[in-house]
Amino acid sequence: MIGFEIHARQRAVSAEVAQRFAAIPVANISDVMSRMAAGGTRLRPMHDGTVMSGPALTVKTRPGDNLMVHKALGMAQPGDVIVVDAGGDLTNAIIGELMAGYAQTRKIGGIVINGAIRDAGALRRSSLPVYAAGVTHRGPYKDGPGEINCAIALDGMVIQPGDLVIGDEDGLLCIPYDQVESVYQAAAAKHAAEEKTVADIAAGKLDTSWIDARLSQLGCVIHTR
């Protein structure tokens, strides 16, 4: 039935790839992706700050219903990130402490909810990465419909099953399966360059000559008196 289906995931990034990305800030990765990909500023970390990196197991559900999320929890492999498009609605929570606790026992890599969560205090103290758009005490329904392992979109960012989903305190990002290696190489170089800048700042050696050069290039007139 259209809109009420469970698909098999055909491919997924490896645990080794996910681990490599976990050492690079999401902001650096975003920069090398031309700053054009983002899951939306509403999706904020609801946990203790642990970094998230793993292959996407996608879920699309109607707002306020978590039947398919329960099914996805049982299907997920260790390290998977369950990404749920619940329409961004904040009326009913899609997950809470109990489901998050179950996810931890299954060694799931994280949960992203384009919707609301509840039991915010317990999730905030937890090391399980959880990103959501809001918090409400109102619980979910369990009637469906929904789909598992289908293409979803969060604020315009398309996520296919098996794509790499990463997140830190700045937010989250999806890297398409076919682009993970090229993005990693560029992001690692960007991170190394920023670490050198940090060291230059600490040593009082930061080169800021580019600022005046850029202003000149743009035609800015600088009056000295």
Annotated binding site for substrate: 96-99, 118
For β-strands 81-85 and 52-61, DSSP reports them as parallel
Residue that is written with structure tokens 């009326």 in the block: 91
Residue 166 has φ and ψ, to the nearest 5°, of: -125, 155
Instruction: Report yes or no: 172 and 109 within 8 Å, Cβ to Cβ.
Output: no
Instruction: State how far the alpha carbon of 212 is from the alpha carbons of 77, 193, 223, in Å.
Output: 52, 21, 13
Tokens, residue 79 = 């390290």
* Known binding-site positions: 96-99, 118-119
Return the amino acid letter for 54.
Answer: G
Q: Which value, in Å, is the radius of gyration of the alpha carbons in the chain?
A: 20
* Known binding-site positions for Mg(2+): 119
